[in-house]
Amino acid sequence: MDNLTPSDLFSPSKARQQRAQAQDWAHIDSWLSYKYAGRTVPTFERNEETLKVLRELSMANERADEERAVIERVEREALKELNEIPTNADDNRILDQLKASLTPEGNQALDALASTAVHLNTPTANPEFLAHTLIHHTTTAQNLANQLAHIHTLQQYLDKQQSLLQAQLQEFRTNPSFSAPSSLQRQTTDQTRQIKHLRTKTRECEDKLAALQVRTMTPSSKHVGSAEAIGEMLEQQQALDGLRERVEGVEREVNAFMGLPADREAARKEVGRLEVRLDEVRRKRDGLFEGLVGK
């Protein structure tokens, strides 16, 4: 309701839509608080797409909870019915006679078959059915193990990349080479202001020159071919040329610093290195010239 505009107050449909969204967000917040059980809910962007996804997720979660509750109720009722079935003494007697008539290997095989059926939670002790169930469980376990190994490898890779990024971020924060000098912003602001001022002056002079040219080309003008008009145009042209030279000079001064590092000490080192290189080239040139003169 906080994002209602004055126009929405006079639109019942928009007001109803805003109220419905507010109720949906209240339901989502309550559901997330219950699911996180006292932990801090992660922050996320609150828009219509996020609300739609979270609404669908909460509805699917509620349906899954209802299905799980139904299954648990059915299992409890089935277990209760099984416990209420009276035991038959004849069945125990038949089972004892069957075990007595079996060999030790047969008793061991019967116990293994019964234990396998219980552990696999199968409704029957048919060996073929148990074999298929065991194969299915083995395949599922192997697939899960492969997925866990893949996830573990991916987690190790992400941890390594995170460590590298943190190291690079720390390098950027602590290395003076990546920090701009304190006076750079002031210098840039001053030079930008000066360039804008000179460009404004240049445009004014160009406009004045264009107006003088139009007046000179007009047949009815009183200043056609006069010495005053020509002198004024020459002065404007000289002023324009001077302003252009100043603008070009400032731009050359600014461009001269483009290749240098932002740090002042690093820039001085780079200039010193270039001066040493210039001296070497000069000595080489002088040596070549002396060699040509000697010949």
**Contact, 247 vs 199, CB < 8 A?**
yes
pLDDT tens-digit map of 4-38: 555 555 567 777 888 888 899 999 889 888 888 87
Is residue 241, in this structure, part of any structural domain at all? yes
239 Cβ contact list (under 8 Å, min separation 6):
205
Is residue 290, in this structure, part of any structural domain at all? no
Q: Sort 142 into a burial class: Cβ within 10 Å, 0-12 / 13-18 / 19+.
A: exposed
The pLDDT-based confidence of 3 (bands split at 50, 70, 90) is low
Q: Which residue has the tokens 């002079």?
A: 205
Is residue 16, in this structure, part of any structural domain at all? no
pLDDT tens-digit map of 35-66: 888 788 888 888 888 889 999 999 999 999 99
Is residue 244, in this structure, part of any structural domain at all? yes
Residue 64 C-beta-side C-alpha neighbours within 13 Å: 6
Is residue 235, in this structure, part of any structural domain at all? yes
Is residue 190, in this structure, part of any structural domain at all? no
Is residue 236, in this structure, part of any structural domain at all? yes
Is pTM beyond 0.85 here?
no
Number of structural domains (the chain) is: 1
Is residue 187, in this structure, part of any structural domain at all? no
Highest mean pLDDT among 155-164, 204-213, 239-248, 266-275: 155-164
Distance CA 142, CA 36 (A): 31
Window from 106-120, 156-170, 253-267 with minimum mean pLDDT:
253-267
Window from 102-106, 139-143, 185-189, 200-204 with minimum mean pLDDT:
102-106
To 5 degrees, how large is the angle CA 114–CA 117–CA 121? Answer: 140
Q: Show the domain range for 231.
A: 225-251
Residue 130 in this model has a pLDDT that exceeds 50? yes
**Contact, 231 vs 237, CB < 8 A?**
no
Q: What is the pLDDT of residue 189?
A: 84
CA distances 90 to 83, 93, 102, 155, Å, are 18, 5, 18, 60
Q: What is the pLDDT of residue 235?
A: 83
137 Cβ contact list (under 8 Å, min separation 6):
120
